[in-house]
Amino acid sequence: MKRNQLGWNEFLNSAFTEYEVQGYTVGRVMLEHKRLYRVETDHGECLAEVAGKYRFEAVTREDYPAVGDWVVLSERQEEGKATIHALLPRFSKFSRKAAGLTTEEQIVAANVDTVFLVQSLNYDFNPRRLERYLVMAWESGSNPVVVLTKSDLCEDIPEKIAEMEAVAFGVPIHAVSVKDETGLEELASYFTVGKTVALLGSSGAGKSTLTNYLLGEEKQLIQKVRSDDDKGKHTTTYRELYMLPTGGLVLDTPGMRELQLWEADGAISHSFQDIEELAEQCYFRDCKHGNEPKCAVQGAINEGTLDAGRYQSYVKLQRELAFLERKNDKRAQLAEKEKWKKITSGVRGGKKK
């Protein structure tokens, strides 16, 4: 079945059973555009929108489909259209706080097996930014892989890889060049049939160039980078999932200028295990790692075994997460209130009938 090529698995199959007996079909969201979805099914591609009941029962953005999601459909094959009635559970989800002042989740990728964290080996190279991406990748439930592009522009690749290894413990790191076609064979193992890889990184990092290479055609427009700072303009303007001719799927995403945490409590401990292990060695259990005596963290910084910038990044992410948790508590209360408001209005509407 085509769905197997799209990433169907036993987890999804179990969740779909109750809908299948009702005569519904299933498809995967390949592209989202203003509440209209391009969905790939066993019967081909169709345009779909959510049912009125679905829209009424949805409370937050998380309730709506995102690219990579599997949705329950009633298809109108002769029209090439469908209606979405339900969303199957996600086995992974890469989220960030939506840009701006509002506290709202933005789902960047759903049901992804591997996340390529893409940085180029030029002005885009930034270990501090990678720390943030790693925290969110671990939280998503996907396996992170660091891909360093434009290796043809770098003269000290081993040193750059060593810098990344210092923050990406145990995470595979690949240096590649699409221009020279070097290192790319190492990426092939991630694109087996039915497996999905999402490309995440800033604008100009080379995600679209890599996507075009994997597809074997120019699907994504490539724009030249600025000569003064080597940063590219936004090439990809929306998230889109592609099936590769060699098997597997790739999800290209727009460059993200702003990457704020959404939820990442356990993932911070995973990503900064070196700092948390040092903290356990501090003389005082409630050590704040400031001016306290016998602080193992400050001792490591003074000895040069812990980068001060890495520790500051850890502190910043902890503060950001604490602030977000306070905001989310209020948001959850409002969402619950809105949910019961809808239920109450529905009951009242039924009584009037």
Instruction: Determine if residue 233 is labeled as part of a ligand binding site.
Output: no
Question: Measuring CA to CA, which residue among 42, 48, 46, 128 is closest to residue 86?
Answer: 48
Instruction: Determine if residue 206 is labeled as part of a ligand binding site.
Output: yes
Locate 256 and state its tokens: 């993200």
Which one-letter DSSP state was computed for residue 234?
A: P
Instruction: Determine if residue 345 is labeled as part of a ligand binding site.
Output: no
Instruction: Determine if residue 52 is labeled as part of a ligand binding site.
Output: no
Question: What is the C-alpha to C-alpha distance for residues 113 and 249, in angstroms, rounded to an integer?
Answer: 10
80: left (phi over 0), alpha (psi -120 to 50) or beta: left
Question: Measuring CA to CA, which residue among 239, 266, 296, 189 is closest to residue 65?
Answer: 239
Q: Are 139 and 112 in contact (CB under 8 A)?
A: no
Instruction: Determine if residue 232 is labeled as part of a ligand binding site.
Output: no
Per-residue b or e along 269-302, where b marks 16 or more CB atoms closer than 10 Å to that residue's CB:
eebbebbeebbeebeeeebebeeeeebbbbebbe
Question: Measuring CA to CA, which residue among 137, 148, 133, 224 is closest to residue 184?
Answer: 148
Which one-letter DSSP state was computed for residue 154?
A: -
How far lies 14's CA from each of 10, 11, 17, 103, 285, in Å?
A: 6, 5, 6, 33, 46
Question: What is the C-alpha to C-alpha distance for residues 245 and 237, in angstroms, rounded to an integer?
Answer: 23
Instruction: Determine if residue 99 is labeled as part of a ligand binding site.
Output: no
How far lies 334's CA from each of 54, 124, 341, 345, 349, in Å?
A: 20, 39, 10, 16, 22
Instruction: Determine if residue 352 is labeled as part of a ligand binding site.
Output: no
Instruction: Determine if residue 154 is labeled as part of a ligand binding site.
Output: no
Instruction: Determine if residue 287 is labeled as part of a ligand binding site.
Output: yes
Instruction: Determine if residue 209 is labeled as part of a ligand binding site.
Output: yes
Instruction: Determine if residue 150 is labeled as part of a ligand binding site.
Output: yes
Instruction: Determine if residue 341 is labeled as part of a ligand binding site.
Output: no
Instruction: Determine if residue 231 is labeled as part of a ligand binding site.
Output: no
Strand partners, 27: 41, 71
Which residue positions form the known binding site for GTP? 149-152, 201-209
- Binding residue positions for Zn(2+): 282, 287, 289, 295
Annotated binding site: 149-152, 201-209, 282, 287, 289, 295
